[in-house]
Amino acid sequence: MPELPEVETVRRGLAPVMEGARIASAQVNRPDLRWPFPDRMADRLTGARIERLRRRSKYILADLDTGETLLVHLGMTGRMLVSGDALGRFVHDHPVAQKHDHVVFDLEGGARVTFNDPRRFGAMDLMQTASADSHPLLGALGPEPLGNAFNESHLAKALAGRSMPVKSALLDQKIVAGLGNIYVCEALYRAGIDPRRRVNAIAAARIASLVPIIRQVLEEAITAGGSSLRDFRQADGELGYFQHSFDVYGREGQPCRTPGCGRQVQRVVQSGRSSFYCGACQR
């Protein structure tokens, strides 16, 4: 599933085309994805102007001049692809309609944004912009890891007294929003912390060190256009490249990249997810 860098990469790719544009027509080709679409979604979107395109955790939010906000979740295989941009930022002609093109936005000016999702694990919803923060998918989320609210004090307080593995804690969306398996593995490697280590057994200074490291990993991934492991594509259809910079994720049995280490990257399953780490460099 796309994590924060992939979703942010898509948002940044869509923003030049969608922000300020009016939806000339919206086409909804099925009744549902992961959940049913909201009532009259195509009618409610057609004619609306997209005032702002933002991200919250792993969700893209389009604030409309109708007072509603469109929530988009890419799921496992969802893509939002742009074609026909009249200003030349996206030179792709409109492609032939595909089987899994479930929602299509034709914008005034000629651009088209197509939501394609073969496995249909994505989702869309419409909500009142004024109360968007209390939406069931957003209301319990923790702070954004790239925002000011995510700081050493917040992380120390959120983890205080917990005995769970640090990997599990950082994947808890109530503690910090948007982190997923890939970037937690990479951040813990850079911090030298074993993903299996219990939070209450980690010194406060090491917990605090995770904040700038998490930000650094995410910013590097966004700069690289995210990580393309299976189906992820940017808004212009291009792949992300951060997977070529992984230190541990997916590198089981390969040499640790720490100079002079000599050990191999190991994998362990935690709560049904693979954790990759170096047993020598991470304690």
Tens of pLDDT, residue by residue over 231-263, are: 444 455 554 444 557 899 999 999 999 999 999
> Measured between alpha carbons, how far is 91 from 235 in angstroms, rounded to an integer?
12
pLDDT at 91: 52
Least confident of 88-102, 126-140, 207-221: 88-102
* Whole-number percent of the chain with pLDDT over 90: 80
Q: Are 39 and 68 in contact (CB under 8 A)?
A: no
- The residues that are catalytic are 2-3, 58, 273
pTM, two decimals, is 0.90
Which among 5, 19, 57, 50 is positioned nearest to 173, based on CA atoms? Answer: 57
> Measured between alpha carbons, how far is 162 from 11 in angstroms, rounded to an integer?
34
Residue 134 has pLDDT above 70, yes or no: yes
Region 68-86: mean pLDDT is 89
Tokens of 5: 């860098």
pLDDT at 243: 55
Strand partners, 105: 26, 113
Q: Name the more confident of 98 and 35.
A: 35
Strand pairing report for 101-107 and 50-56? unpaired
Region 220-235: mean pLDDT is 63
Angle at 67 between CA 122 and CA 115, to 5 degrees: 25
- Sorted by where each starts, the structural domains of the chain and their CATH numbers stand as 4-134 (3.20.190.10), 152-278 (1.10.8.50)
> Measured between alpha carbons, how far is 145 from 149 in angstroms, rounded to an integer?
8
Q: Are 187 and 170 in contact (CB under 8 A)?
A: yes
Which among 124, 157, 131 is positioned nearest to 143, based on CA atoms? Answer: 157
Average per-residue pLDDT for the chain: 91
Which among 84, 89, 74 is positioned nearest to 112, based on CA atoms? Answer: 84
Residue 51 CB coordination number (10 Å): 15
Q: Are 193 and 208 in contact (CB under 8 A)?
A: no
Which among 21, 11, 15, 32 is positioned nearest to 102, based on CA atoms? Answer: 32
pLDDT at 96: 81
- Reduced to 3 states, what is the DSSP secondary structure of residue 92? coil
Region 126-143: mean pLDDT is 97
Region 1-16: mean pLDDT is 89
